[in-house]
Amino acid sequence: MKFFVDTADTADIRELAATGLLDGVTTNPTLIHKSGRKFMEVVEEICGIVDGPVSAEVVALDHETMMKEAEILRKIADNVCIKVPLTVDGLKTCKKLTEDGTMVNVTLCFSANQALLAAKAGASFISPFVGRHDDNGFDGMRLIDDIRLIYDNYAFDTEILVASIRHPIHLLESAKIGADVATMPPAVIRGLFKHVLTDAGIEAFLKDWEATGQSIG
């Protein structure tokens, strides 16, 4: 399973990249706004930190303008992945870009039927939002399960990129289902390291080591 981090904070990206865990990065207009930096500048810096796909989202709603924005964004670096919304114009743009050899992440997916459309349009990634799905009284993980089944039935190459992950259980269930990618906020990734028994074990080992009166080096 691939791990992407969902942020535009380059300090967080550098720290997590140093662990060897990161396979890519996702950004969106909200995350760019939180960063307080210029969009193009941030994307270029991120592309220099990680080798994997870096999702950069178009903001236009019509196909022609989406293509113009995508043309600018994909010139930033070879690992830029253009993110488009799951709309008719978004899928037109997806089809055109993938035919040109550009990675495309189709975002804001909330149904298995939408995911099927994205796969038929040639999307590199489909981003179903499990947390937002849960917020509205639906089962986000059932959505991932349905998409996995459909994609396997027809051998689609589109990768399931689980988005809006709120906690470790979302990740665990996604991995069990067989999702290809999980994109998570930095805090969720850091939370995966934590376990009360790990902390207790370290504390006990350090206490016993101190009692030996020894040092290494």
Residue tagged active-site, from 83, 95, 120, 194: 83
Nearest to 58 by CA among 39, 45, 44, 77: 39
Nearest to 3 by CA among 152, 20, 199: 20
Nearest to 108 by CA among 124, 81, 130: 130
For the chain, what is the largest distance between any 2 Cα atoms, rounded to a whole number of angstroms? 71
Residue 49 exposed, middle or buried by CB count within 10 Å (0-12, 13-18, 19+): middle
- What is the C-alpha to C-alpha distance for residues 108 and 97, in angstroms, rounded to an integer? 18
- Per the annotation, the verdict on 83 as an active-site residue is yes
Using the structure block, give the residue that is written with the tokens 């993110």.
83
How is residue 159 written in tokens? Answer: 């990768």
Using the structure block, give the residue that is written with the tokens 């934590």.
194
C-beta neighbour count of 7 within 10 angstroms: 24
Residues labelled as active-site residues: 83
